[in-house]
C-alpha cells in the first residue's frame, strides 16, 4: 500500500500536466505543501485506517499466481519446497462476486504504464463529481485516500513480476452482504487480521506435492483428505522441479 501511494503521487502530477487540469482542483496540490503531504499520508496509512476498519472498508486480499510449479515460488511461498500447490480454475473463482479481481500491476518507481488505465478511470470519476472549481484540501485528501484504497492493492514492485500474480480484493462497500468481522492470526512479530472467504470446491483442479517432499508418503495423506471431501483423489501430482535444499 505504501508503494502504491508513492507510485500514485508521481502518476497524478504527470497526468494533471498532460491534461492541463486547473491548479485549483488538482489533487497533486496536496503534495505541494509538506504539511499537507504528511497529513494525507498519515490520514490514509494511520488515522483513516481506524475509520476504514470501523465501516469495514479495509481491503482484504487473496493472492493467486499463474506460476503453478515454479522454483522461486516454491522457495518463497511453498515452505521451501516442502508444501503443496493448489491449482484452481480462474473461471470458477470469478464467482467470488463480492470482490474486485484483477492482475497485479508491476511498477517500478518510474515505470507507471501498468498503473495508467486504472488511475485515469479513478481520476476521471473525481473530475466528473466536481461541483465547483475550488476544492477544499480535506476533499482532496479524501479523494486521494479513495483512489489509494481502490488501486494500491493491485500494485507491486517490478522485481516481483515473475510471480504473475492475480488478486481478489474484498471491501465491504463492494459487498451487499457485508464481510464478516476479521479474525486474527500470528505471524513473525505481527498479529494479522484476516477474513474467511469460501472458495467453491469445484474450483479446485489439482494439487501439486512440493519438490522437497517424499511424494509416495505425502500422496496417500492428501488423497485420503480428498476422498473424505468427496473430491477426485487422482488430481494429486508430483512437482516437476528438480530440487535441492542446500
Please tell me the predicted confidence (pLDDT) of residue 54.
Answer: 52
For the stretch 143-174, pLDDT in tens is 877 787 778 888 888 899 999 999 998 876 55
Between the ranges 46-60, 79-93, 123-137, 163-177, where is the mean pLDDT highest? 79-93
Mean pLDDT of 202-212: 92
Residue 137 pLDDT exceeds 90 = no
Between the ranges 7-11, 152-156, 175-179, 209-213, where is the mean pLDDT highest? 209-213
Count Cβ neighbours within 10 Å for each residue of 21-37 and write b for 16 or more, e otherwise.
beeebbbbebbeeeeee
| Position 47 confidence tier, pLDDT thresholds 50, 70, 90 | very low
Please tell me the predicted confidence (pLDDT) of residue 121.
Answer: 86
For the stretch 173-204, pLDDT in tens is 555 555 666 788 887 778 888 888 888 888 99
Given a contact cutoff of 8 angstroms between Cβ atoms, the answer to whether 69 and 85 are in contact is: yes
Please tell me the predicted confidence (pLDDT) of residue 33.
Answer: 62
Distance in angstroms (rounded) separating the CA atoms of residues 173 and 177: 9
In the predicted model, what is the mean pLDDT of the chain? 80
Amino acid at each position: 500500500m505504501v508503494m502504491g501511494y508513492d507510485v500514485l503521487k508521481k502518476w497524478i502530477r504527470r497526468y494533471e500536466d498532460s491534461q492541463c487540469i486547473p491548479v485549483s482542483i488538482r489533487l497533486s496540490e496536496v503534495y505541494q505543501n509538506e504539511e499537507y503531504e504528511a497529513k494525507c499520508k498519515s490520514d490514509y496509512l494511520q488515522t483513516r485506517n481506524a475509520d476504514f476498519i470501523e465501516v469495514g472498508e479495509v481491503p482484504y486480499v487473496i493472492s493467486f499466481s499463474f506460476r503453478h510449479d515454479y522454483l522461486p515460488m516454491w522457495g518463497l511461498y511453498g515452505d521451501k519446497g516442502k508444501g503443496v500447490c493448489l491449482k484452481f480454475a480462474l473461471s470458477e473463482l470469478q464467482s467470488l462476486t463480492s470482490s474486485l479481481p484483477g492482475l497485479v500491476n508491476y511498477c517500478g518507481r518510474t515505470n507507471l504504464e501498468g498503473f495508467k488505465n486504472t488511475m485515469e478511470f479513478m481520476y476521471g470519476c473525481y473530475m466528473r463529481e466536481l461541483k465547483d472549481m475550488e476544492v477544499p484540501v480535506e476533499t482532496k485528501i479524501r479523494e486521494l485516500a479513495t483512489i489509494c484504497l481502490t488501486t494500491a492493492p493491485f500494485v507491486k514492485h517490478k522485481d516481483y513480476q515473475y510471480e504473475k500474480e492475480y488478486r481478489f480484493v474484498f471491501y465491504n462497500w463492494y459487498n451487499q452482504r457485508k464481510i464478516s468481522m476479521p479474525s486474527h492470526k500470528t505471524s513473525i512479530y505481527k498479529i494479522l487480521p484476516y477474513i474467511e472467504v469460501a472458495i467453491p470446491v469445484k474450483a479446485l483442479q489439482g494439487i501439486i506435492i512440493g519438490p522437497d517432499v517424499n511424494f509416495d508418503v505425502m500422496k496417500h495423506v492428501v488423497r485420503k483428505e480428498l476422498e473424505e471431501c468427496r473430491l477426485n483423489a487422482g488430481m494429486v501430482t508430483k512437482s516437476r522441479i528438480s530440487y535441492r535444499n542446500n
